[in-house]
A and B are shown apart, each in its own frame.
Chain A
């Protein structure tokens, strides 16, 4: 019998990285200026995790993928329009903030609650996936905490490759310092894998998968339970964008020799 997996991918939504972001201080703490107007995408490293999950499920027939997201549901719906066409998954929604200023502890508790609520989830086959850091808070904390809440203490972060051997053992490459990977073997599920880029290109759109996903996505959005995060214990003195603009000297007339002289002198200086 080939090993089957129950793969839960956690992924929030973040502002499209091409947008300029500006912080504003509100009565309840910091936020992004015009946050609700900014176009959003699935958090990029969670996006890689989702494709890796779908690929693994395909190679292990009988496996299943859930995408669990805490996000404002109207914005999540927009993101789903594109994402639904990529790979098959079942959506579980917690209607809550996707802000980088929300605390990881509370976010993890809300997501763990949603995962615990998935009917018939076989925890012995559970692989908890997500991005190793978000593009919003960027603490790399939420997955570890969900793992702890669910009692999964085999965890890996910065994963670029997962290979399953015949006995169901997981061989994992995690990013470490200076452009190298730590290689480990885990005896099998359950485990937490926080993905970096992985190895897969973006899958092409598949309208059939889109239609199949959308059948579950709309009810999931309608049934989303609201999560009110209290923000207790955490306060922000300030959040600001640093002075970004440099006074760029643009050299259009210098010849290659003069440029090379200047760069060499700069490097040696």
Chain B
């Protein structure tokens, strides 16, 4: 059934659906409405009771649950088996889920099992003249395309922050038994950095620390300890998410002075993340293209750099303050206290 839209939500450790899942549900509703089709839902996880109270706003025609210890943690084989069976049982033409790590791990494998196609990190969906069209970025956020496909089933993962979350409400569900086993055992979650968590996807502001913080300053000295205090101080008082440039995090493997709380997980750009925040402040970072592509989803952008000719001045930031970030950030921190 080409116009049947299946939304799949995965519950977290507490049995809840997180915001990106509810945003993807809105996307699924939009598509089903536009096609004049039917929306069906599935919840997969350790448990689903709480989640069933979260999705009523979408008024799905039916809801399936796949629950139990097997699905309490993400794992390719068991997650793919659950989604495959739900998609086949519901005979969905379009399958929609959030582009979080859990569905991203299986989206394409699922499409392959269904004999369909896949598009990931979709940022918009509309139906024109009965045809579904979706937007996604290419070449690491350098260009955006609008595509359509005649292939069905079409598996879509929806980029977080692209739709408003669906309204809450309760629904009834039918459980589905899925028989599967795996050679993989999930062992839990490991924090990416020691100390406080500094990657905060919901923060209003992203602070990027570039390699300049670890370079010789005007007095001919390196001041890594001062830099660490200024950056962590700001992250705390502004509740900012921390990001960094590649050069900054690569310094560690080259044995140079580094800020130990910044790792590759913090890296923004071509081979790093492209987070979504309303504001971003770049400090001691040159703003080269492979870094700046990671700022695609940062709305308001400001930078502090001693070099007036740095990349941020070339139309990449709204404001460039040509100044010493050590001095400015100390004063900013005083004002935020």
Contact = CB atoms under 8 A, between A and B. Distances in A.
Interface in A1-41: 14-15, 17-18, 20-23, 30, 32
A47 to B, nearest CB: 9
Contact of B143 (A21, A149, A180, A247): A21
B109 A21 contact: no
Contact of A263 (B106, B118, B140, B302): B302
Interface in B292-324: 293, 300-302, 304, 308, 312-324
Contacts of B192: 179-181
B85 interface: no
Interface stretch (B27-35, B72-80, B166-174, B209-217): B72-80
Contacts of A182: 73-74, 101, 186, 188-190
B335 A240 contact: no
Interface in A250-269: 250-252, 254, 256-257, 259-261, 263-264, 266-267
Given A176-B101, A177-B101, A240 B143 contact: yes
B289 interface: yes
Nearest to B138: A100
A141 B254 contact: no
* Majority secondary structure, B binding face: mixed
B330 to A, nearest CB: 8
B113 to A, nearest CB: 6
Contacts, number: 279
Contacts of A103: 117
B191 A180 contact: yes
Given A153-B80, A236-B145, A139 B119 contact: yes
Given A141-B108, A260-B332, A178 B200 contact: yes
B270 A184 contact: no
A125 interface: no
B107 A241 contact: no
A259 B264 contact: no
Contact of A181 (B107, B144, B189, B314): B189
Contacts of B315: 244-248
A45 interface: yes
Interface residues of B, number: 99
Contacts of B183: 154, 186-188
Nearest to B189: A180
Given A17-B290, A246-B301, A250-B308, A239 B320 contact: no
Nearest to A47: B271
B127 interface: no
11 contacts: A21-B143, A141-B120, A177-B100, A179-B263, A233-B149, A239-B145, A247-B318, A248-B319, A251-B320, A251-B323, A259-B328
Interface of A: 14-15, 17-18, 20-23, 30, 32, 44-45, 100-101, 103-105, 108, 135-145, 147-149, 153-158, 160, 171, 173-188, 196-197, 200-201, 233-242, 244-252, 254, 256-257, 259-261, 263-264, 266-267
Given A138-B121, A153-B77, A186-B184, 9 more contacts: A145-B111, A149-B112, A239-B144, A245-B315, A246-B318, A249-B318, A250-B308, A256-B324, A261-B335
